[in-house]
């Protein structure tokens, strides 16, 4: 694998994928492509797709394959992704994984990283998460903003997202087990999967991820 790889990062919601994908994108000098960020931007902007997506997201359900695949295909076709990307939130099903294979041809996915975090821990993380309604900055009940749930960065109201309630989170985790977990077998069969312990500080987890990425890069050269 050369610098500028095509990576997929898997893991339950709340496993820390977003944080680690940003770090990996900087480390490898490739874009972080988050389907969640793209979806939430569409919802915030009130686009036709955003209104449709919000209905699914507020129920904790997955966006239909054909819709999300079209968004991802358009994004990875952009010039900044020509050298590679870190995919966060896609694919979530084997149907999407096979579609991704077609999108990147004649190249291929280089490595799939699975952040392994216990369900009860991610449930605790997500149910305590709070987000600035203006700029999207993340906080939690354990690490709130300094003043009265007002964003430290922009002064916006810090709230709980509709899809971060316990009932919706459990629904999302159930869907992950039903629809997304088979991806582990799909990529394992292709010798692309590496499981990484996602419990620990962000620095500790990043160190484990870099160790795996560097090892695979060395083996490819």
CATH number, domain with residue 63? 3.40.50.300
Of 39, 66, 38, 70, nearest in space to 52 by CA: 39
pLDDT for residue 3: 61
Q: Considering 12, 23, 75, 92, which one is annotated as catalytic?
A: 92
Domain assignment present for residue 133? The answer is no
pLDDT at 50 over 90: no
Q: Known catalytic residue: 124?
A: no
Specify the DSSP class assigned to residue 47.
-
Q: Known catalytic residue: 172?
A: yes
Compute CA distances 166 → 20, 57, 169, whole Å: 24, 14, 5
Domain assignment present for residue 146? The answer is no
Domain assignment present for residue 208? The answer is no
Domain assignment present for residue 221? The answer is no
Of 14, 7, 61, nearest in space to 39 by CA: 61
In tens, the pLDDT along 156-198 reads 999 998 878 888 888 888 888 887 788 999 999 999 999 999 9
Cα 24 to Cα 206: distance, rounded to the nearest angstrom: 8
Q: Known catalytic residue: 59?
A: no
Q: Considering 83, 124, 161, 195, which one is annotated as catalytic?
A: 161
pLDDT for residue 181: 80
User: How many domains, in total, are found in the chain?
Assistant: 1
In tens, the pLDDT along 70-116 reads 888 888 988 999 999 999 989 988 999 999 999 999 999 999 999 99
Q: Considering 6, 23, 75, 172, which one is annotated as catalytic?
A: 172
Q: Known catalytic residue: 92?
A: yes
Domain assignment present for residue 186? The answer is yes
Q: Considering 6, 40, 125, 129, which one is annotated as catalytic?
A: 129
Domain assignment present for residue 215? The answer is no
Specify the DSSP class assigned to residue 198.
-
**Stated pTM of the model:** 0.79
Give the other-Cβ count within 10 Å of 189's Cβ: 9
Q: Known catalytic residue: 17?
A: yes
pLDDT band, very low/low/confident/very high, at 216 (cuts 50, 70, 90): confident
**Type and span of the H or E element at 27:** helix 17-28
Q: Which of 100-109, 118-127, 202-211 has the lowest mean pLDDT?
A: 118-127
Residue 192 lies in domain: 6-117+176-198
């Amino acid at each position: 694998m050369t610098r500028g790889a095509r990576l997929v990062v898997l893991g339950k919601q709340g496993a820390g994928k977003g944080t680690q994908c940003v770090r990996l994108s900087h480390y490898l000098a490739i874009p972080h492509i988050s389907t969640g960020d793209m979806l939430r931007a569409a919802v915030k902007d009130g686009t036709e797709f955003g209104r449709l997506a919000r209905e699914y997201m507020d129920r904790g359900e997955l966006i239909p394959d054909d819709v999300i695949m079209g968004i991802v295909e358009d994004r990875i076709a952009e010039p900044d992704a020509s050298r590679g990307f870190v995919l966060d939130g896609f694919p979530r099903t084997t149907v999407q994984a096979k579609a991704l294979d077609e999108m990147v041809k004649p190249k291929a996915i280089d490595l799939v990283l699975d952040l392994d975090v216990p369900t009860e821990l991610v449930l605790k993380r997500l149910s305590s998460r709070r987000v600035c309604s203006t700029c999207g900055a993340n906080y939690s009940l354990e690490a709130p903003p300094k003043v009265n749930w007002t964003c430290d960065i922009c002064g916006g109201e810090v709230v709980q997202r509709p899809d971060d309630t316990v009932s919706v989170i459990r629904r999302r985790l159930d869907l992950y087990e039903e629809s997304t977990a088979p991806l582990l077998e799909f990529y394992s069969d292709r010798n692309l999967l590496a499981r990484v312990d996602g419990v620990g500080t962000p620095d500790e987890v990043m160190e484990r991820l870099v160790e795996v990425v560097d090892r695979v890069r060395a083996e490819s050269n």
